[in-house]
Amino acid sequence: MTDMDTKKFIPADDSRITYMGRISFDDPARPTLYWAGSGIRMRFTGKSVYAVIKNRKFYNDMLLGVVIDGREDKVAFEENDMDIVLTLGEGLDAGEHEVILFKRQDATHYFEFAGFYIDAEGSVLAPAPLPKRKIECFGDSVTAGAVVEAADYTASCDPEGHNGIYDNAWHSYSMITARNLGAQIHVTAQGGIAIFDDTGYYHSPDCIGMETAYDKLCYFPEGDKGVTPWDFNKYIPDVVIFAVGQNDQHCEKRDDPDITDPEYRAKWKTRYKEIILDLKSKYPNAVFILILTVLCHDPEWDRAIEEITCELNDEKITHFMFTRTGKATPGHPRISEQCEMAEELTAYISSMGDKVWNAGQ
């Protein structure tokens, strides 16, 4: 391993480092990343860059994403509950660079970030300004980019025993759409999540639903400080995408829910609307787009979301369906299918005009 004594340390609270996502800054010197897609960015000079993290693993293999000068890569590691140094880039060309370190996976882990190391003769540059446009995308594993890199399994079921190695939020439709539109994004998404607690697949057998997670910073009790609230004043999106409903047909503790049952349908729609209206109270000028993805599902869930949209009767709350909503694949969408969704969603948001980007101003 490279001797860090010969390198220059840039602490996490250096003002020239920028962050994106629901990130805890309770300790500014060691911010904690919980949600998939959360990222850290720095511009610097020199030929190498490293990151210091402390990881807490729950399951799956551990990988972090890194983008240097627009070129994406990943770094694997095994150490847990201790500070480690990750090599992000070595042998770079002399001159200016930009590095982005991001969380590829959802709640398979969380980590503290302590800072970067760069060459002793290198320097940190003023940060590029974050985009003024802002998106937030609530969703499940598709929104978080689960199994997206398993290209050989396109339009088929997921490979068995993949242990998270194909998960990559960077290639989710949510993050691709944000890059297409030149926007920041918070990916408030977790694999297996449903609207209700005790339904879906996330955090089985005591499943956590979006009704618990949507307003949280840390949304699982195993976090360093347990479940903690999110301060909505920290990020006011212009566009809110809400993509929940794929996992809601499953319940381990009771009979599986049936969206065609009038009583359950009314209950599900009511809770869904309560979450949307609460978010609407926090983001009063935002445009809301309600969707489900191209992962195969019963179209009755799409009909229920259309009913919700009509019942809310708000011109800033819309229901969008992809060309192949619910019809494209029995497994998680791969990169090509995520790009397909992103292109359609980008076009839909663009069709609303520039006025859509005024909510957070």
* Cβ proximity of 165 and 285 under 8 Å: no
Distance of CA 272 to the CA centre of its chain: 20
Q: What is the pLDDT of residues 268-298, one digit of tens each?
A: 999 999 999 999 999 999 999 999 999 999 9
| Nearest of 343, 232, 246, 237 to residue 304 by alpha carbon | 246
* Cβ proximity of 103 and 31 under 8 Å: no
SS3 of residue 286 by DSSP: coil
Tokens of 322: 């992809």
Q: What is the pLDDT of residues 29-42, one digit of tens each?
A: 999 999 999 999 99
For the packed helices 299-312 and 262-282, what is the interaxial angle rounded to 10 degrees? 50
Q: What is the pLDDT of residue 29?
A: 98
The superfamily (CATH) of domain 133-358 is SGNH hydrolase (3.40.50.1110)
Cα distance between residue 173 and residue 135, in whole Å: 12
Q: pLDDT band for position 254 (50/70/90)?
A: confident
* Cβ proximity of 56 and 105 under 8 Å: no
Domain boundaries, the chain: 4-119, 133-358
Nearest-Å Rg of the Cα atoms of the chain is 20
Cα distance between residue 219 and residue 200, in whole Å: 15
Q: Which amino acid is at 270?
A: T
Calculate the average pLDDT of the chain: 97
Task: Give the list of residues 6+ apart from residue 291 with CB closer than 8 angstroms, or none.
Answer: 241, 242, 243, 305, 319, 320, 321, 322, 325, 345
Answer whether 0.85 is exceeded by the pTM.
Answer: yes
Cα distance between residue 224 and residue 187, in whole Å: 21
* Mean pLDDT (whole number) for 95-112: 98
Q: Is the pLDDT of residue 360 over 80?
A: no
Cα distance between residue 360 and residue 286, in whole Å: 8
| Nearest of 42, 59, 60 to residue 51 by alpha carbon | 42
SS3 of residue 287 by DSSP: strand
Q: What is the pLDDT of residues 139-174, one digit of tens each?
A: 999 999 999 999 999 999 999 999 999 999 999 999
Q: Within 186-331, where are the H helices?
A: 210-213, 262-282, 299-312
Q: What is the pLDDT of residue 361?
A: 52
The overall longest dimension of the chain from CA atoms, in Å, is 68
Q: What is the pLDDT of residues 291-328, one digit of tens each?
A: 999 999 999 999 999 999 999 999 999 999 999 999 99
Q: Is the pLDDT of residue 259 over 60?
A: yes
The domain made up of 4-119 is a member of CATH 2.30.40.10: no
Q: Within the chain, where are the H helices?
A: 141-144, 173-181, 210-213, 262-282, 299-312, 335-350
Q: What is the pLDDT of residue 323?
A: 98
Cα distance between residue 258 and residue 126, in whole Å: 54
Q: What are phi and psi of 151, to 5 degrees?
A: -60, -30
Q: Is the pLDDT of residue 200 over 80?
A: yes
Q: What is the pLDDT of residues 176-195, one digit of tens each?
A: 999 999 999 999 999 999 99
Q: What is the pLDDT of residue 358?
A: 82
Q: What is the pLDDT of residues 332-349, one digit of tens each?
A: 999 999 999 999 999 999
Q: What burial class does residue 208 get, using C-beta atoms within 10 Å of its C-beta: 0-12 exposed, 13-18 middle, 19+ buried? A: buried
Percentages (nearest 5) of helix, strand, coil residues in the chain: 25, 25, 50
Q: Is the pLDDT of residue 1 over 60?
A: no
Query: Vertex 296, ends 138 and 171: CA angle to 5°?
Result: 50
Q: What burial class does residue 1 get, using C-beta atoms within 10 Å of its C-beta: 0-12 exposed, 13-18 middle, 19+ buried? A: exposed
* Cβ proximity of 344 and 322 under 8 Å: yes
Q: What is the pLDDT of residue 3?
A: 80
Percent of the chain with pLDDT over 70: 99
* Mean pLDDT (whole number) for 73-102: 97
